Structure 1
């Protein structure tokens, strides 16, 4: 389910940032990404998102990241290592998998990340988990 079609769209205060490759929803303590179908989410695209996040939150941001995988797309799992080394402002991540392939991909990405990554089956599960992180208490 997309964020805009969920109950949270009207319940949670957020801002939307649209890119040619997907939409990002920005909240106080976390973001939700929905990458478009068929996109290869590479380092150049990640840097575009990072620039928008720094503009919105400032340079000392610490946020949670929810990847709402409503569309099939690709990403190189080792980019998590590069991101953590160069930026490191994501404290934890939830990956919502709607298919078995998405779950397998999330499992592979989890192996490349030093931060906590939770594989979730729904937007409800991901939002509840990310909002209850000890880093945000």
Structure 2
């Protein structure tokens, strides 16, 4: 389910669209929905990463959720490099509803050193990532 087709749409603070995908900002996290058929690399994602950096800054903890509503490929090592760019990243998650999406999320998970990143639905991911960010910021 896409963000704008969910109950979360009323909580979106800002949305940005690029050829590579859509980015939706909330108070404590951003949700990325990459476009169908994209090959996601660090270089191809630079505008999205810049948008995230500009929105959250360098000090405020935040989370990123990749909502795999479309089929796309990625460079797993680029996920690690992208995460290294954000020293204030407190939570990262991948929502996958299809078998290929779950396999990709599993591969991404093996390259990540944080807690489990795989989620079965968008609401589970939002709840978990939001909790991780609030814990990092000591917000109740």
- TM-score (normalised: structure 1): 0.89
Query: TM-score by structure 2 length?
Result: 0.87
Aligned to 1:8: 8
Unaligned runs of 5+ in 1: none
Query: Secondary structure in 1 aligned to 2:128?
Result: helix
Alignment of 1:77-116 (within 5 A): 77-116=76-115
Residue in 1 aligned with 2:55? 56
Task: State the partner residue of 2:33.
Answer: 34
| Superposed CA offset, 1:94-131 (max 9, x none) | 11111111111111111111223421111111111112
Q: 1:85 to 1:123 in 2, by over 3 A?
A: closer
What is the count of residue pairs matched by the alignment?
136
Find the aligned partners of 1:43 and 1:125 in 2 and give their Cα distance.
Answer: 27
TM-superposed deviation, 1:92: 1.6
State the alpha-carbon separation in 2 of the partners of residues 104 and 4 from structure 1. Answer: 25
SS of residue in 2 equivalent to 1:67? strand
1:40-85 per-position Cα deviation (integer Å, ceiling 9, x unaligned): 1111122211211222222334311111100000111111222234
Counterpart residue number, 2:46: 47
The 1-side partners of 2:87 and 2:71 are apart by 25
SS of corresponding position for 1:83: helix
Give 1:72's aligned residue.
71
Q: Which runs of 5+ in 2 are unaligned?
A: none
